[in-house]
Structure 1
Amino acid sequence: MYELKTKENDNDVMEFIEQVESERKRADAYQLLDLFTETTGFKAKMWGSSIIGFGSYHYKYASGHEGDAPLVGFSPRKAKISLYFATGDSEREQLLKDFGKHTTGKACVYINKVADIDVNVLKALITQSVRFLKKHYSDQ
């Protein structure tokens, strides 16, 4: 059976951020920590070794695969900062049009630095993602 690698744990979020090599990325991580905490109302928790997540939800796919994931989160990675929002939400795509400089992957939105984006749109993305996931996974 498949074992999830990215699980919520008790690792220290501040300690993790302090280990970020780039001073700019470390400052951005603290700014994102404040923005995500303020917007969600959830305490930051480490997920796996490098994702800072807020809140959680339980998912179960038709295939039988299930697990837990953060509602939203971020990771100050070496190349770019990864932002984690709900996938499959058309409102996310609309909001991203006014977000600022970013790229997207299947599940992530990537930014170079917080100064490249509209912080108000970030707050809207966070709020929308939490709303979308709670609506779609509240009955599981």
Structure 2
Amino acid sequence: MAQLTTRPTGDDVVAFIDSIADERRRDDARAVLALIEQATKAPAVLWGSSIVGFGTRRYTNTTGSNDWFVVGFSPRKAALTIYGVHDDDGPADDLLEQLGPHTTGKACLYVKRLADVDRHILEQLVQRAWQRGQA
């Protein structure tokens, strides 16, 4: 069975965010870090080299049964990627319609500029995902 390479590292989340070269992406990462911390009341943990995750849950896929974070984000170059708030089953569709400009992928939400979306709606998406992940 393959070992996942994206695992908690113990590295400093704030230092990771402070190292982001693009000022806007860095500011967006700080803001979404605060939003998710507030919504989940969970500590942020760096997973791999570039994903900030909150909480832990077990899931099973083709690599077997693994630990993964419940919700998280990564300040990617093309977009701020938020994990766990969208899935193909549609429970977030009503909120996604109200969010503002974004795209989605499997279990991912992509936002080019945090200022362009409704942060209250984003917080609701995070809270829903957190509650699903705790069940």
Runs of 4+ in structure 1 off by over 4 angstroms are none
Q: Is structure 2 residue 90 aligned with structure 1 residue 124?
A: no
Q: Which residue of 1 aligns with 2:110?
A: 110
> 1:74–1:82: 8 Å Cα contact kept in structure 2?
yes
The secondary structure found in structure 1 opposite 2:99 is coil
Structure 1: which amino acid aligns with 2:25? K
Unaligned runs of 5+ in 2: none
> 2:84–2:129: 8 Å Cα contact kept in structure 1?
yes
Unaligned runs of 5+ in 1: 136-140
Identity across matched positions, percent: 39
Q: What is the alpha-carbon distance in structure 1 between the residues aligned to residue 35 and residue 28 of structure 2? A: 10
Matches within 5 A, 1:65-104: 65-86=64-85, 87-104=87-104
Q: Which residue of 2 aligns with 1:138?
A: none
TM-score, length of structure 1 as denominator length: 0.89
Q: What CA deviation, in whole Å up to 9, does each residue of 1:30-57 have, x standing for no partner?
A: 1111100011000100011100011111
Q: CA deviation at 1:108?
A: 1.0
- Between the two proteins, the alignment pairs up a number of residues equal to 134
Q: What is the alpha-carbon distance in structure 1 between the residues aligned to residue 30 and residue 38 of structure 2? A: 12
Q: CA deviation at 1:107?
A: 2.1
Matches within 5 A, 1:1-140: 1-61=1-61, 65-86=64-85, 87-135=87-135
TM-score, length of structure 2 as denominator length: 0.92
Q: What is the alpha-carbon distance in structure 2 between the residues aligned to residue 95 and residue 41 of structure 1? A: 21
Structure 2: which amino acid aligns with 1:82? T
The secondary structure found in structure 1 opposite 2:26 is helix
